[in-house]
A and B are shown apart, each in its own frame.
Chain A
Amino acid sequence: MRRMFALVCFALGCSGGIEGPAPSLTAAANRLLPGASPAIVCNAQGDPSGGWLVDLTGDGFSPLPLDTVSGAEGLQMPSVALAGPESYALPDARVLFIDRTQLPLAMPTANTAPDAKALQAGSYDVTVTNPDGMQASLTAALTIVPPPAVSGLVVLDSNGQPTGNRLCNNRAQTVVVFGSAFRTGSATSASFVPASGATIAMPASAVSVKSALVINVSVPAGTLASMATPAGADVGVRVNDPDGCVAPWPGGSTAATVRVVTTCP
């Protein structure tokens, strides 16, 4: 059939289009969470330039060199489109290429410039289309999650009694963080951010996501010695989702601070 077309084309004088490889798509993974399938991406926040990198794996990804004879050499990348709660075609500049089996996407976020994009949360199908028009799709390849938000906190003493927001460095205490969109079952982490000085990150073993609304952070005695003052110093609490989103976003105001004092009687 192809030969017949070529023969007819030859006789009539026409263009036969372009023929190239057909892609296949087997998986998508967020580089921040390579083991999660489908890929989980929080794109309401992110790197201001690169966004979040999501690797598409498969075969037959085929960028097309352009204008190789006319002199204005260029490159057409495979196009990538998302379909779910909304449809979105990634800008060409955000489709990268490693080899015919790996196609990284620099997923834009609400923070990236100049093509900021905050997708609605939900499950998305991913479609890759080579420049020759051949395409492959992967259903529910990507899950967009909303960023966490912190609305308040309370410090519990060793007996489980609330003590307001005072955190005594000489005692083991628990900080209960309230908010939304916390990721249960994930490696969520937390850190204490002073007004000046170094941030202290709590180990994953000290953080327990009780629900999408509550996180418990265990603070052993002496952990915040560098921040503590006799009169107490206000220190912010930051929640870090493993997919890259944090609450509050660096530079943003925080609704949750603890007053860290050196010693409590």
Chain B
Amino acid sequence: MSAIRTFAAVALLAATPAVAQTDECDCKPNRACVPCPPAKKPKPRVDPAEQEEPAGPPVALPDRPEASSRRRQQSALLFAVKTGLFQPTSRLGGALYVGAELAYVPPVFRQALAAVLELDWVRPQTGGALGDPRLVGGGSYEMSDQQVGVLLSAMYRAQDLFVPGLTPYAGLGPGLYFHRASVTAFGSTNVETATKLGFQLAAGSDYRLGPGAVFAEVRYHFARVDFRTTGDANVGGFMAMGLGYRLKMF
């Protein structure tokens, strides 16, 4: 019985596309196997729990639906980089958004949950003319709010929900946002800094590609500031069209 499980597990792993392997094994329960490459050769006497997993797709990434529950009970650490267009809900204009995240997938709930720590950066800007009567020659200003966010999110990942390899996910969590508002006007620059708590909502989907998975993501940040130069305002907004790539670290 143990050998059958081993065969089945090895067969499933070998069938995963992300594994660099051209000859798949034809192993079926209670039948002879087509010989596999030496590294993939089944070892009937080895307990599957102790078997070393071959290099291949991360366990938390989209997997074949028939993947063994044993593999799904392993933890994983994922790393991702992302970029996208950040569109604030305030007067600030759209800006490039870049971020990197580490996600821990605990070996529970069939790896459907993940704790994600993200560091991101965005620098939306705005500007305008000042018509104050005290300005003899008028004037204009340019303002930017550089935001560095440290976000902690809980994510739910629905692996292979509709299509094999496709993993929609969604989550939310608090964020610590470091703001640096810089206003340049009349030949001078004034800078204000503050750290504020906020939160974010995120949703996206992985699709297995190569050694990891590409993903598209939308995100909403709520990040309020109360600088003299900005006023009391939410400088957060939507990250639309966010794209990234996610890799399994272990």
Residues of A whose CB lies within 8 Å of any CB of B are 6, 9-21, 60-77, 92-93, 95-100, 104, 131-132
Contacts and interface: CB of A to CB of B under 8 A. Distances in A.
A116 to B, nearest CB: 19
Contacts of B126: 68-69
What 6 pairs between A and B have smallest CB-CB spacing? Answer: A70-B231, A67-B231, A16-B193, A20-B190, A62-B188, A15-B194
B197 interface: yes
A254 to B, nearest CB: 36
Contacts of A70: 90, 230-233
5 contacts: A9-B194, A10-B148, A15-B195, A97-B186, A131-B228
B178 A20 contact: no
B134 A68 contact: no
Given A10-B195, A76-B228, A69 B92 contact: yes
B52 interface: no
Contacts of A66: 228-229, 231
Contact of A63 (B135, B143, B148, B230): B135
A75 B135 contact: yes
A13 B134 contact: no
B28 interface: no
Contacts of A73: 128, 130
A49 to B, nearest CB: 12
Q: How large is the interface on B (under 10, 10 to 19, 20 to 34, 35 or more residues)?
A: 35 or more
A96 B137 CA distance: 10
A132 B192 CA distance: 10
Interface in B114-150: 126, 128, 130, 132, 134-137, 139, 141, 143, 145, 148
A70 B91 CA distance: 8
B228 A97 contact: no
A65 B130 contact: yes
A65 B194 contact: no
A14 B179 CA distance: 10
B38 interface: no
A93 B132 CA distance: 10
Interface in B33-72: none
B166 interface: no
Contact of A69 (B187, B188, B231): B231
A98 B190 contact: no
A13 B92 contact: no
Given A69-B235, A75-B135, A131-B190, 19 more contacts: A9-B178, A9-B193, A16-B193, A17-B193, A20-B191, A21-B189, A60-B188, A62-B185, A63-B186, A68-B126, A68-B231, A73-B128, A76-B228, A77-B134, A97-B139, A98-B137, A99-B186, A100-B186, A104-B136
Given A93-B134, A97-B135, A131-B228, A65 B188 contact: no
Contacts of B195: 9-15
Nearest to A63: B186
Nearest to A64: B190
B175 to A, nearest CB: 11
B134 A75 contact: yes
B231 A99 contact: no
A244 B240 CA distance: 63
B124 to A, nearest CB: 9
A68 B143 contact: yes
Contacts of A21: 188-190
A75 B132 contact: yes
Given A15-B193, A17-B192, A64 B137 contact: no
A75 B130 contact: yes
Given A13-B176, A69-B230, A97 B134 contact: yes
Nearest to A14: B195
Contacts of A62: 185-186, 188, 190
Given A60-B188, A131-B190, A99 B229 contact: no
Contacts of A132: 190
